[in-house]
Amino acid sequence: MDFKKPKFTKVSKAVWEVSKSFKAGMLVPARIYATEKLLKEMDFQVFDQIANVASLPGIQNYAFGMPDSHSGYGFPIGGVAAFDINDEGVISPGGIGFDINCGMRLVMTNLTVEQVRPKIKDITDNLFKSVPAGVGSQSKLKLTKDEFKEIANLGSTWAVKKGYGWSEDLHVTELNGFADWADSSKISDKVISRGIKQMGTLGSGNHYLEVQYIKPGYIKDQKLAKKWGLFEGQVVIMFHCGSRGAGHQIASDYLSSFLDVMDRKYKIKVYDRELACAPFNSKDGQDYYKAMGCGVNISFVNRQLIMHKIREVFSNVFKKEPEKLGMRQLFDVAHNRASLEKHEVDGEDRELLVHRKGSTASYPPGRKEIPRTFIKDGSPVIIGGSMETGSYLLVGASNAKETFDSTAHGSGRTMSRTKAKKMFDGQALFKKMLSNGIYVKSASWSGLAEESGESYKDLEEVVNSTEISGLSRRVCKFAPLGNVKG
């Protein structure tokens, strides 16, 4: 299908507007946050999808595309939209994603790269053994259906109570690791059957577990980095994963039910069936919101269990307890969720449901959503790059109020996985990375090939876009050392 390119109005150096006249039915304009270089590289389907989002009932101000935007299911990945729940606002699974609450977690150590580099093969191999990765990977943790429902209802509080983490982990996790609106009676038996064997697993695609370090010159905000416990030469661990098959099934179940009731029951018409939705305050909307909360909790527990294994591996390799290795969690932040938040629209505070799909919350100092640890600083933002280029830790900036406190979530793909597998050879990529000082352990050569650095946008250009537009700003960059790939 051919997609037309809109006419852009330049709002500022890295902000571009698409008027409502671009596509019939748009209720608000669209805005793309990107440098001119990134804008020119975006596939036209991004613009078509963001225009479709701008047509959804109850949308406020603009439909947004972040610098890492690329085409997705319904919403583009990197899409943001806020809906007034008291004025026809809807909830849409396509604006949240199949991997509900997929996110990033950053764990610190007091180890240096000089201590870790000689052991990186041993560490990475053991992480690969301890954290199941790849398509269909299954957990070593045996759970009953009742235990899985507890996980869906309680989130990371369940994991910490069971000994899979420290109480302080909760204080540096979004929502304290617990979506309190979750209700496991709203998820199907199929959700349970798909999720029960996948807790504590990495999965495939762009999910990874990476040992990283801070090179000289990589700290961009010395004061904040020091306050948060970061220093040059330090080794950290970053990983990216979500709710796996359970989240996918929740999204599939409710997309199907919304398609059935959307027009017949609520008289809502959309320009793309992938944007199936229901009024947030309807029974259907509330059922999905509560089921989504289960996906959020499942995702938090999945990452909590993985972190527990990471601590065990480092403890075994270095013959010290995790506490003595300084293995504190810095933050856990999601980029596939809809959140109820109050924002100012037309001079008044409104209760909005902010959909962030492939987009990270970027709260400036003082917002109530920020964990107390960071309330005076702004929320940490973790942006994963490709496994060849490194990743970033940013912090929320004041201009993010324009995007309902949202920013990018990663580099964003420039080519499909199918194309990447045709263009790149996994074994050759492994050798190339090894020659560059990066040891990678992957479940398959094809899975490695599809995650090559050339498959992603320029990380620096993406981060520049967020800084120029004032959505978030740099704190620190991390370089890859060892990588576990699904």
33-61 residue pLDDT tens: 999 999 999 999 999 999 999 999 999 99
Nearest to 359 by CA among 60, 79, 83: 79
pLDDT at 27 over 80: yes
- How much helix, strand and coil, in percent to the nearest 5, is found in the chain? 40, 25, 35
Model pTM?
0.97
Tens of pLDDT, residue by residue over 236-255, are: 999 999 999 999 999 999 99
Per the CB < 8 A criterion, the answer to whether 386 and 453 are in contact is yes
DSSP classification of residue 404: T
User: Quick one: pLDDT at residue 201?
Assistant: 96
User: Quick one: pLDDT at residue 420?
Assistant: 87
Catalytic residues: 409
Name the token pair of 367: 């917002």
Question: What does the buried/exposed string (b/e) look like for 390-412 if buried means 16 or more CB atoms within 10 Å of the residue's CB?
Answer: bbbbbbbbebbbbbbbbbbbbbb
pLDDT at 138 over 90: no
Q: What is the mean pLDDT of residues 417-425?
A: 89
pLDDT at 136 over 90: no
Pairing of strands 63-70, 30-33: parallel
pLDDT at 412 over 80: yes
Predicted confidence band at 1 (pLDDT cuts at 50, 70, 90)? low
Per the CB < 8 A criterion, the answer to whether 156 and 301 are in contact is yes
Per the CB < 8 A criterion, the answer to whether 277 and 96 are in contact is no
Q: Please list, in sequence order, all residues whose beta carbon lies within 8 angstroms of the beta carbon of residue 285, skipping any fewer than 6 positions away.
A: 90, 91, 278, 279
Instruction: Map tokens 């983490």 to a residue.
Output: 165
Tens of pLDDT, residue by residue over 270-279, are: 999 999 999 9
The overall average pLDDT reported for the chain is 96
pLDDT at 3 over 90: no
